Structure 1
């Protein structure tokens, strides 16, 4: 029998709460940094955190599939599946920035049913179940109601990668909305879910970077798709845009594809 979403939420929150002590034990401390095949950094904190989360998930949900950044796929991803990014923002982590997160997503037959973003150094936990709402540290949160692009506060993630791949688009993004900031990783998407900003453009992500965000953003009333407006999946190309409202999302898609 499948667990209820309330059970899933409770266990996910408990596991990540316990796991958060692992990166914090290494935060702003000397670390050996290993370069992965794609040149991205990884540390013992990434690997120990994911190993703990995987072990706990397997104990509570032995029939569920797991897909994590550091240790890949266990079991089948066709049924009930967990997606893990143990430290989303390893570059932030190794440079002493508190804006690294821990991502956990729960999918059923590919559909995100729960999204969790825990920010260990900020002591913030965002959890969303589509249809049941989203919370920050247990308090309800919701996206803003901004519908006009010229009034929007926009974050552009992975700016240097966007500039290298599409300089004309980057120029447009530098002039978009009312206010814009450059950022990285999961935190801007969490801030959008909490009603602090209006849109986030992201680039070059992997499924473990974006799938845990889907349940949270949707639960908070927002919209998250690829740059073509398609739902995100394990096969998505890593170009992601998140918006507070459908009206604003349409304008962001138009800007991205102009």
Structure 2
């Protein structure tokens, strides 16, 4: 992926987990996570994916969530979002769900919440939500953008885990930020919700 991006956009920066950032002074930076969900990949579990984002002046502008195992791909530009899979291709939208007690809550694993504060907030959300689902890694965010999950709360993330998710979720009508409301790309703890009203409620719980 880095080789192809370097050929196509030689003046752009490229940031990924395995290598140092190239052309770090460029306005345009590609942020790549070739295998998001390493444990799932090792196990042969189909929920791992590839994340590619283009950030302009530090802000994710275009994102791709690719699921090679399932043959699905989701992409967005903060204004619109689309998905393609075995059932066809078309625009995707989040669903309206303004209350946590009506929401499907997802997180990759409870183990990502380390401090007593993080664990307490996770437990409060888990107990209040209508349903909780674990696993999924980046695929859960694609499901949120497609209207099948309502809220995701995670911690211990890095920029290459987050960047590609932002344009897809925002393009589908959702919101994704840090727990304190700052841009998600600047944070290791993120909250995403399909309904902006639910996102506001989550910030009150997490803040």
**TM-score, normalisation: structure 2:** 0.92
Residue among 175, 189, 204 paired with 1:254: 204
What corresponds to 1:213 in structure 2? 165
Residue among 187, 192, 197 paired with 2:149: 197
Aligned length, in residue pairs: 202
**Structure having the higher Rg:** 1
Give runs of aligned pairs for residues 98-247 of structure 1, distance below 5 A: 98-131=46-79, 133-137=80-84, 138-162=89-113, 165=116, 166-233=118-185, 236-247=186-197
CA contact (8 A) 1:154 1:176 kept: no
Q: CA RMSD, aligned part only?
A: 1.4
Which runs of no fewer than 5 residues in structure 2 stay unpaired? Answer: none
**TM-score, normalisation: structure 1:** 0.75
Q: Work out the CA distance in 2 between the residues paired with 1:208 and 1:183.
A: 18
* Superimposed CA distance per residue, residues 218-251 of structure 1 (whole angstroms, 9 cap, x where no aligned partner): 1111100000011123xx2310100012100011
SS of corresponding position for 1:74: coil
CA contact (8 A) 2:112 2:154 kept: no
Q: Work out the CA distance in 2 between the residues paired with 1:186 and 1:148.
A: 23
